[in-house]
C-alpha cells in the first residue's frame, strides 16, 4: 500500500484513521499515495485555528503579512522541480500545462505580496471618505473594513491543485484570516506538498494554514457565523452548500464558482487571412487543449458568423490534428491526460449526450496515443463538434463537458451572437475577436452583464493579450448565474471577502483619532 499523506490541521500533522483513498497516475494507472481525514476532531481544530491562527495574523500589519507571503513565494520557488514531478504523475499534465498551475499560483501569491506592501503599517482599512449625517458637519459616518474574526475554508476543484490554493489563500492571509484548504481528492498530493513545504519552512504563524485531504464530511458542520467559505466545483455540489445550515442558518459568507459554458466570438467581417480570424482560431485551439480542456474558463462554445462555419471548422481541424496526445513524460507529447478514470468516463458520457444534437468535425478519439496504453491511460484527443441549428441545439448551451471539447455554433448577426452567448445563463468569461474597435467595445459592454470577464482580442494586442482562459490576479474571477455568482481576485478587491465593512458614526474628533 502506498504512503498515507498526513493532514496539517490546527498546528499539527495528523493522519486519518482509515486506510484512505488512493490517488493514481492517470496515464500509467499506478497508485501514488493515499489520502484520508477520518477521525479528526474538526470542531476543536477549527476553534483553535480561529483563536490562535487568527489572533497571530491580526497582530501583524498588512505590510508584515505581505512580507510573510513574499517569504512563502521563495519557499515555493525552491521546490518547483518537485511540484512539476507531482503534477506529471498525479495530474497527467505536460510541462507547459503544469506551469499554469504551479507558476501561476506562485505568481498570484507574489502579486498579493506586492499589493500588501502598499497597505503599510495598518491593521484595518478606511473605506471612502467621511459623510455628513446632517447639516452640522460635526457628526459624520466613516466606513471601515476590519479582518473577519473567523477562518476561511476552501473546498477546491481537482483541476488546479496549486493555483486553486494560492489564488484564494493569498488574499485571505494578507487580510489576516487563517486558511483551511480541502483540495479536490484526485489531485490532492500537490496541494498537500505545497502546504507541507510552507509549514516546514516556518514562514507562517502556527494555525495560519491547514490542509485536509480526503472526504469533506463534517467540514461545513464545523463552520461558525464569522467564518467564510469558498467553493469551486460542480453546480450540484454548490446547490448542496447553499442549503447547508452553515450558509442558510448561520450566515457563513460563501463564494461559489460553479459550471460555466464559456464562449469565444468571432465578429462579422473577419474571414480566413485576416489577423483577427487567425488569432481566434489559434486561441480556440489552445483553450481546447491546454490542461486537456480541464479549465473552468475553457472555451466550450465557438460562436462564428454563418458564412464562416466551414472555414473555421477547417482551420481548427488543421490545428487540432497536429496535437500529439499521450504520456506527458514523452517530449513529443503536447497534451496529456484527464486527471482520472472517472473524469475520462464523464467526458465520454458528455460527448455521447452532445452527439444527439451535433456533428463531429474533428474526432479526438480517433487519434493514436503516444507512449500510452489506451486501455489504461485516461487520454482523449481534442474533439470539435458543430451544429448548424444554433437555437434548437439546447444541449450545447446547457451541458459542460469538462475536457478537450468545444462546439462550433453559427450566428446570423451580432445581436444573435450576443443572444447565444447569454444562453450560457452566466459565464466566467467570453472572448471577442475582431479588428473594429467600436464594434469590439460595443459587444464587450453588451456582454458584461452576463460574464465575470470579457476578454477582447484585436490585432494590436495579438502578441500581448493574456489569453482567454488565463485568470490574472489583477482582474476579477467569477461570474453570475450558472457560473455561481461569486467573485475572487481583482487586485485588492479580493480582500473585501475577508473583511467586515462597518459604518462608524461619531464626531469628527473621534473619527480623526483612529489608529489603523
pLDDT category, 516, cuts 50, 70, 90? confident
In which band, very low, low, confident or very high, does the pLDDT at 394 lie, cut at 50, 70 and 90? very high
Q: CA 485 from chain center: how many Å?
A: 14
Q: 407-424 burial string, b = 16+ CB within 10 Å, else e?
A: bbbbbeebebbbebbbbb
Task: Considering only residues 104 and 514, tell me which one the structure prediction assigns the higher pLDDT.
Answer: 104
Q: Are 156 and 181 in contact (CB under 8 A)?
A: yes
The reply to whether 85 and 72 lie within a common domain is: yes
Q: How far is CA 92 from the centre of its chain?
A: 18
Predicted local distance difference test score (pLDDT) of residue 18: 87
For residue 289, tell me if it sits in a domain.
yes
pLDDT digits (tens, 9 = 90+) for 122-146: 999 999 999 999 888 899 999 999 9
Residue 338 and residue 415 share a domain: yes
483 part of a folded domain: no
CATH no. for residue 89?
Answer: 3.40.605.10
> Residue 1: exposed, middle, or buried by beta-carbon count in 10 A (0-12, 13-18, 19+)?
exposed
**Inside any domain, residue 276:** yes
Count of alpha carbons within 13 angstroms of residue 383, beta-carbon side:
23
- Which pLDDT band holds residue 283 (cuts at 50, 70, 90)? very high
Q: Same domain for 249 and 267?
A: no
Both 211 and 233 in one domain: the answer is yes
Q: Are residues 222 and 284 in the same domain?
A: no
Residue 480 lies in a domain: no
Instruction: Name the band, by pLDDT with cuts 50, 70 and 90, for residue 505.
Output: very high
pLDDT of residue 137: 87
The pLDDT-based confidence of 19 (bands split at 50, 70, 90) is confident
Asked if residue 478 is part of any domain, the answer here is no
- Do residue 127 and residue 145 come from a single domain? yes
What CATH number is given to the structural domain containing 344? 3.40.309.10
Catalytic residues: 257, 296
Half-sphere exposure for 216 (CA within 13 Å, toward CB): 20
Gap between the Cα atoms of 380 and 369, Å rounded: 8
Contact between 386 and 313 under an 8 Å Cβ cutoff? The reply is yes
Distance from chain centroid for Cα 316: 26
232 and 332 fall within a common domain? no
Average pLDDT over residues 260-267: 97
- Cα–Cα distance between 208 and 228 in angstroms, integer? 15
- What value does the mean pLDDT take over residues 78-95? 97
In a domain, 334, yes or no: yes
State the DSSP code for 366: G
Name the pLDDT band for 498 (thresholds 50, 70, 90).
Answer: very high
Count Cβ neighbours within 10 Å for each residue of 79-110 and write b for 16 or more, e otherwise. beeebbebbbbbbbbbeebbbbbbbbbbebbb
Domain match, 433 and 359 both:
yes
Grid cell of 387 as nine digits: 451544429
Is residue 83 domain-shared with residue 195, that is, in the same domain? yes
CA 218 to chain centre: 24
Distance CA 426, CA 486 (A): 11
Q: Which residues have CB under 8 Å from 282's CB, separation 6+? A: 319
Structure confidence at residue 134 (pLDDT): 87
CA-CA distance, 379 to 361, in Å (whole number)?
A: 19
- Cell 498525479 locates to 90
Q: Which residues of 246-271 are buried (b: 16+ CB within 10 A; e: fewer)?
A: bbeeeebbbbbbbbbbbbbbbbbebe
Is pLDDT at 1 greater than 80 in this prediction? Answer: no
Shared-domain flag, residues 211 and 274: no
pLDDT, tens digit (0-9, with 9 covering 90-100), for 428-439: 999 999 999 999
Residue 216's pLDDT is what?
Answer: 84
Secondary structure of 83-119 in HEC code, one letter for each residue: HHHHHHHHHCCCHHHHHHHHHHHHHHHHHHHHHHHCC
- For the chain, how many structural domains are there in total? 2
Over residues 240-258, mean pLDDT? 96
Task: Say how many C-beta atoms besides its own lie within 10 A of residue 496's C-beta.
Answer: 16
Residues 44, 110, single domain; the answer is yes
Q: 423 CB contacts (<8 Å, ≥6 apart)?
A: 261, 397
Nearest of 403, 451, 401, 402 to residue 265 by alpha carbon: 451
pLDDT tens track for 318-339: 999 999 999 999 999 999 999 9
Question: How far is it, in rounded angstroms, from Cα 465 to Cα 459?
Answer: 10
pLDDT one-digit tens code per residue, 157-199: 999 999 999 999 999 999 999 999 999 999 999 999 999 999 9
What pLDDT is attached to residue 337?
A: 97
Same domain, 57 and 201: yes
Contacts of 60 (CB under 8 A, 6+ apart): 68, 123, 176
Question: How far lies 489's CA from each of 111, 169, 319, 358, 450, in Å?
Answer: 11, 11, 33, 36, 18
405 within 8 A of 294, measured Cβ to Cβ: no
The reply to whether 359 falls in a domain is yes
| Domain of 308, in residue numbers | 263-472
Amino acid at each position: 500500500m502506498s504512503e498515507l499523506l498526513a493532514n496539517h490541521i490546527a498546528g499539527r500533522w495528523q493522519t486519518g484513521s482509515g486506510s484512505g483513498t488512493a490517488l493514481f497516475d492517470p496515464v500509467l494507472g499506478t497508485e501514488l499515495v493515499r489520502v484520508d481525514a477520518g477521525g479528526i476532531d474538526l470542531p476543536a481544530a477549527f476553534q483553535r485555528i480561529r483563536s490562535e491562527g487568527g489572533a497571530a495574523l491580526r497582530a501583524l500589519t498588512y505590510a508584515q503579512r505581505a512580507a510573510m507571503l513574499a517569504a512563502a513565494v521563495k519557499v515555493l520557488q525552491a521546490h518547483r522541480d518537485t511540484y512539476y514531478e507531482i503534477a506529471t504523475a498525479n495530474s497527467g499534465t505536460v510541462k507547459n500545462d503544469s506551469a499554469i498551475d504551479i507558476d501561476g499560483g506562485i505568481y498570484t501569491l507574489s502579486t498579493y505580496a506586492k499589493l500588501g506592501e502598499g497597505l503599510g503599517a495598518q491593521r484595518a482599512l478606511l473605506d471612502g471618505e467621511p459623510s455628513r449625517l446632517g447639516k452640522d458637519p460635526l457628526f459624520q459616518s466613516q466606513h471601515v473594513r476590519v479582518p473577519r474574526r473567523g477562518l476561511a475554508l476552501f473546498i477546491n476543484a481537482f483541476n488546479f491543485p496549486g493555483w486553486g490554493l494560492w489564488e484564494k489563500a493569498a488574499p485571505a492571509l494578507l487580510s489576516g484570516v487563517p486558511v483551511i484548504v480541502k483540495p479536490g481528492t484526485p489531485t490532492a498530493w500537490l496541494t498537500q506538498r505545497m502546504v507541507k513545504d510552507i509549514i516546514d519552512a516556518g514562514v507562517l504563524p502556527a494555525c495560519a494554514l491547514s490542509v485536509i485531504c480526503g472526504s469533506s464530511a463534517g467540514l461545513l458542520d464545523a463552520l461558525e457565523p464569522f467564518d467564510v467559505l469558498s467553493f469551486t466545483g460542480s453546480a450540484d455540489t454548490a446547490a448542496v452548500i447553499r442549503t447547508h445550515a452553515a450558509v442558510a442558518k448561520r450566515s457563513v459568507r460563501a463564494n461559489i464558482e460553479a459550471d460555466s459554458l464559456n464562449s469565444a466570438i468571432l465578429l462579422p467581417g473577419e474571414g480566413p487571412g485576416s489577423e483577427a480570424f487567425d488569432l481566434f482560431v489559434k486561441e480556440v485551439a489552445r483553450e481546447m487543449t491546454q490542461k486537456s480542456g480541464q479549465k473552468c474558463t475553457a472555451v466550450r462554445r465557438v460562436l462564428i458568423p454563418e458564412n464562416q462555419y466551414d472555414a473555421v471548422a477547417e482551420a481548427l481541424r488543421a490545428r487540432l490534428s497536429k496535437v500529439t496526445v499521450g504520456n506527458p513524460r514523452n517530449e513529443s507529447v503536447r497534451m496529456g491526460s484527464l486527471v482520472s478514470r472517472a473524469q475520462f468516463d464523464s467526458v465520454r458520457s458528455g460527448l455521447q449526450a452532445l452527439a444527439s444534437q451535433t456533428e463531429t468535425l474533428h474526432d479526438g478519439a480517433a487519434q493514436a496515443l503516444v507512449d500510452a496504453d489506451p486501455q489504461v491511460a485516461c487520454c482523449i484527443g481534442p474533439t470539435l463538434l458543430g451544429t448548424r441549428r444554433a437555437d434548437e441545439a439546447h444541449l450545447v448551451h446547457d451541458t459542460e463537458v469538462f475536457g478537450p471539447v468545444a462546439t462550433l455554433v453559427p450566428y446570423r448577426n451580432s445581436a444573435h451572437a450576443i443572444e447565444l452567448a447569454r444562453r450560457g445563463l452566466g459565464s466566467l468569461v467570453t472572448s471577442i475577436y475582431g479588428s473594429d474597435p467600436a464594434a469590439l467595445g460595443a459587444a464587450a459592454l453588451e456582454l458584461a452583464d452576463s460574464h465575470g470577464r470579457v476578454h477582447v482580442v484585436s490585432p494590436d494586442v495579438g502578441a500581448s493579450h493574456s489569453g482567454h482562459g488565463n485568470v490574472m490576479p489583477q482582474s476579477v474571477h467569477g461570474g453570475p448565474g450558472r457560473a455561481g455568482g461569486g467573485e475572487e481576485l481583482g487586485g485588492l478587491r479580493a480582500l473585501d471577502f475577508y473583511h467586515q465593512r462597518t459604518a462608524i458614526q461619531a464626531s469628527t474628533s473621534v473619527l480623526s483619532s483612529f489608529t489603523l
